[in-house]
Amino acid sequence: MTTTPIAVVDLFASALHFRPDGELRATERRMTGGGAGAEGAWQVAAFHVETDADVHADHWEMHPEAEEAVCCLAGGARVFFRPVEPGAAEESVRLAAGSAVIVPRGRWHRLELDGPSDLMSITLRAGTRLERRGAED
């Protein structure tokens, strides 16, 4: 029987990939899908972020394969949702420390910070797309 070595994982430097077969491994953190062994894996990643540039606030992001939990562990952030209907306004939710929002599968979203924060995301990264804000016009 093979066993996973016991080691401390730095969640701000690595991601945890949970595979459908029950395997769990610490791996390189990626904003989009792919990477060796990432197929079908849910990624849990924590981020210490200081500025809007750290959360690519100038880009929309979309995960076609699954919902995403965006969690605020410390600090505060706002999650904006691209309008579904042409001409409609962006929707947004504010996340305080200890709160989360579930982003629907396939829904374009972006983040802005209230200040330095610790965030965590949980999703399937397969097929994740980024689009520069304004390109949707």
Q: How many CB atoms lie within 10 A of CB 113?
A: 21
Write down the pLDDT at residue 29. Answer: 75
| Residue 78: pLDDT band with limits 50, 70, 90 | very high
* Residue 111: pLDDT over 80: yes
Lowest model confidence (mean pLDDT) among 13-22, 29-38, 75-84? 29-38
Average pLDDT over residues 114-132: 94
Phi, psi of 8, rounded to the nearest 5 degrees: -80, 135
Average pLDDT over residues 100-105: 98
The model's pLDDT over 54-63, given as tens digits with 9 standing for 90+, comes to 999 999 999 9
The dihedral through the CA atoms of 105, 107, 110, 111 has a sign that is negative
Triad 14, 15, 17: Cα angle to 5°: 140
Check: pTM over 0.85? Answer yes or no: yes
CA distances from 18 to 4, 22, 88, 104, 123 (A): 13, 7, 37, 20, 10
Closest CA to 109 of 98, 118, 97, 123: 123
How much of the chain exceeds pLDDT 70, in percent? Answer: 88
